[in-house]
Amino acid sequence: MIRWLLLALGGALLGGIVHLATIIILPHTATQDAYARLARSVPVNTVAPLPEPTAESAPMPFMDPAFASAVCRYDLSQGPLKLSVPVSLAYTSVSFYTRYDVAYYAINDRAAGRRVIELDLMTVEQHSQMPEDEEITAADRLIVESPTLTGLIAIRALAPEPGLMPMAKSAIANARCVRADEPKPSR
């Protein structure tokens, strides 16, 4: 009897380890997480508008239907990215997510304080390799460090009333995310 009780206790302790291990490993094996869902339909290093969520279909669960949204799925292995997002009339925000959907930074139009939110996105390593003098000329640009090489930038503009959705969408449509060493696309 004692022997079985001890075995059960040992099993339960081992179960605790199994529990912690599965919780920690799960994000790395998930095939239906937001990044994996978007990776199938969204190209890399460019801004792609997301369809509005409806009752029939949505790019991902729990999306806020009051917002027009777009994502830039980034890959920094070739170099840093430049992001520019014109702000809409109501409320515009830019949120940064790692490859495993952890939000590590976000900024909104009022915090940016300008008509266009402009950011440089790079890895910690790329930031440390930046020449000193360049950093001074780029002092007025905001630099965001990504903890992972790939990830997602969610660009969202609020439509305070359903009738203002086209305006929010057109503000988002002018957002750009391009490699920092590429010339600006002529528009």
User: Residue 94 Cβ, how far from another protein at the closest point, in Å?
Assistant: 8
User: Residue 20 Cβ, how far from another protein at the closest point, in Å?
Assistant: 8
- Does residue 2 touch another protein according to CB under 8 A? no
Closest-CA residue to 151 (of 128, 181, 122, 109) = 122
110-149 residues in contact with another protein (CB under 8 A) are 110-111, 147
- Does residue 24 touch another protein according to CB under 8 A? yes
Rg over alpha carbons for the chain, rounded to the nearest Å, is: 21
CA-CA distance, 144 to 22, in Å (whole number)? 31
Position 44, amino acid:
V
Backbone angles phi, psi at 22, to 5 degrees: -65, -40
Half-sphere exposure for 92 (CA within 13 Å, toward CB): 26
| Site residues (vs another protein, CB under 8 A) | 3-4, 7-8, 10-24, 26-27, 30, 32-34, 36-37, 53-56, 58, 60-67, 90-91, 93, 95-97, 100-108, 110-111, 147, 152, 154, 156, 158-161
